[in-house]
Amino acid sequence: MFAAAVVLPPGAAGPLRAAGLTDSKALSPRRRQQLVPLISQLAAGWALGQASATEIDRHGIRLATEWAMLRALQRLSSGLSSQLSLVLVDGILPLRCWQGAQRCLVRGDSHSPAIAAASVIAKVARDALIVRLAERYPGYGLERHAGYGTALHRRGLELLGPTPLHRRSFLRRVLPVETSS
């Protein structure tokens, strides 16, 4: 699980939108890659946070997502000369562990250039990790489906079994359950 936090100064939104910045899911992998240097150049700061598969399995997706976001915000805050005055959160649920001011935006990546930029940064970082993991764990097709639960991924799981990086909560839905007679 990756999350990113981005601070955009006034005037950065226009050039980013003109360059095609929008929801990362609506952009091709190539387009996302092309936007990262521009985001890095125009942003006042940005940072990544992660949560592990183990954290997701142990504590649930919501809490793990919040931790990844909090880690990104903490890294971002430590690199800025001033404090964050308002955190925009993509979605309907606030960050319960963030003490500062925040506002939730449904479909935030469609409404906020900073959220869209964070979405692109997080997706590119996640996909780069998946490509590296594909070399370490061949046979799952990670380089082709970016780790999402496709038929190819399921076949790899059935043939090779799970890696230490697979979420056990995901596996319960994907792998056939053995029954005892």
pLDDT for res 71: 97
- 165 or 170, higher pLDDT: 165
Stretch 51-60: mean pLDDT:
92
Domain ranges, residue 158: 137-181
Percent of the chain with pLDDT over 70: 93
Decide if 113 is inside a domain: yes
pTM over 0.85: yes
Q: Report CA-CA distances (Å) from 124 to 9, 40, 48, 152, 155.
A: 22, 13, 11, 22, 26
Decide if 69 is inside a domain: yes
Torsion, Cα 107 112 118 123, to 10 degrees, reads: 40
pLDDT for res 142: 83
Q: How many domains does the chain have?
A: 2
Residues 119 and 160 in one domain: no
Residues 51 and 101 in one domain: yes
CB 14 within 8 A of CB 121: no
Residues 17 and 102 in one domain: yes
**Does residue 174 have a pLDDT over 80?**
no
Written as six digits, the tokens of 4 are 């990113």
Cβ atoms within 10 A of the Cβ of 68, count?
A: 22
Residues 17 and 96 in one domain: yes
Check which CATH number belongs to the domain holding 14 and give it: 3.30.420.10
Residues 99 and 181 in one domain: no
Mean predicted lDDT score pLDDT of the chain: 90
Residues 170 and 119 in one domain: no
Residue 179 pLDDT level (bands cut at 50, 70, 90): very low
What helix, strand, coil percent values describe the chain, rounded to 5?
Answer: 55, 10, 35
Instruction: Please state, in angstroms and rounded to a whole number, the distance separating the CA atoms of residues 176 and 174.
Output: 7
Cβ atoms within 10 A of the Cβ of 124, count?
A: 22
Residues 34 and 103 in one domain: yes
Written as six digits, the tokens of 142 are 């990670």
Selection from 111, 86, 64, 81 nearest residue 5 by Cα: 86
Of the residues 82, 99, 126, which one is the last residue of a structural domain? 126
Strand (E) positions, the chain? 2-7, 45-50, 87-90, 102-105
Residues 31 and 113 in one domain: yes
CB 23 within 8 A of CB 116: yes
